[in-house]
Amino acid sequence: MAIINDNDMEIILSGDQKKAIRNMLENRLFAVINMPAEKPSDYTSPFSSSIFVSHMHWSLCISCAIRNRGERTVFEKCEYYIYIYKLRGQNEENIFTESLNDTAFSGTTVTHPSVDEFINFMASKELFFITNLVEDYGNMEDTKVKVFQNDYLLIRENYDKKFILHDDFFDVKVSLTKINDGSNESTKYGLLPIDIRHLDINARLLNILENSSRKEYEDENYYCTQYESNSPDIHASYFLTCFHSNTNWSADPINILNFRLSAFVLPGLLPKKRLHQKKITKEINGESMYKIEAIHFNSDICFDIVEFKELTDEYLYNIGLD
């Protein structure tokens, strides 16, 4: 695995990026900066990525690095960055331009594409960001995710003074047991975290969450996106959805639901035998197979994909009736 900046955590926009990028950039000042992969020594440090990260983030401006999808180029080694003003509107162009000029250095090129042009540019690429938040008290994943939601995706935009009916977090943990493939490699002690993004169950769970939420709220002001957290120790997928409910209320309440998906392997090996497909998950680019022992949905437990879908459908239906 590639080395992450200072053991820091990347938040990566994933899934279908088009709608998320459009919502993120609509009526917002932004520019694309093309920089050499090797940055000047006065903008970087061999001991910390924090120097360059600080250079790319100002009080009212933020940035995401751009790299080819699937690559793991670290933040300060990327050649393209999108530089974004934190607020919507075009009234602060002078402040944005001044900050942009301070960020660019000799050898960089700045362009101002339209939203559609930027979406086309991102066709085979991905956006990711890191922060300078200190990790002395844990990886601070939840805090960094909130920064991404609030400052980049602007999820809580315009709702600080309005009624938020739900702002809920769901921790979805998949417990697996490896099926013996002849290698006799197994987990001997405790739970072994495994990158759920490399298993086909990740796409199956994300599809359930998206299809179930769209089915319930497709006629309303609906929004969803997918993103990932990535560090040497933590790998998780996220599904975020926002929608209105009870639109007869003058408050027009909004619901914000954030699902975090992760997976763990239990000790031991299972003999290779015939199992129902709904009880198996496979590596996307490998041969290892795992039995799905349980899917923990906060305090609820499902024992296969079908039960997870039923629970998700029921919850999303009920939340719209609140």
The CA distance from 40 to 48, in Å, is 14
- Residue 316's pLDDT is what? 87
Instruction: Report, in this order, helix, strand and coil percent for the chain, each rounded to 5.
Output: 30, 35, 35
Q: Would you call 184 exposed, middle or buried from its count of C-beta atoms within 10 A (0-12, 13-18, 19+)?
A: exposed
- For residue 274, the tally of other CB atoms under 10 A from its CB is 4
pLDDT given for residue 271 in this prediction: 82
Name the residue with tokens 């088009």: 18
Which pLDDT score is estimated for 3?
53
Neighbours of 112 (CB within 10 A): 11
Separation in Å, CA 180 to CA 56, 162, 268? 48, 54, 9
Residues of the chain with pLDDT under 70: 1-7, 47, 132-139, 158-162, 182-190, 218-221, 245-252, 322
**Model confidence pTM above 0.85:** yes
Can you give the length of the chain in residues? Answer: 322
Q: What is the pLDDT of residue 192?
A: 87
Burial grade of 115 (CB within 10 A; 0-12, 13-18, 19 or more)? middle
pLDDT for 1 equals 37
| Domain regions of the chain by residue span | 5-152, 164-319
Enclosing H/E stretch for 99: helix 93-103
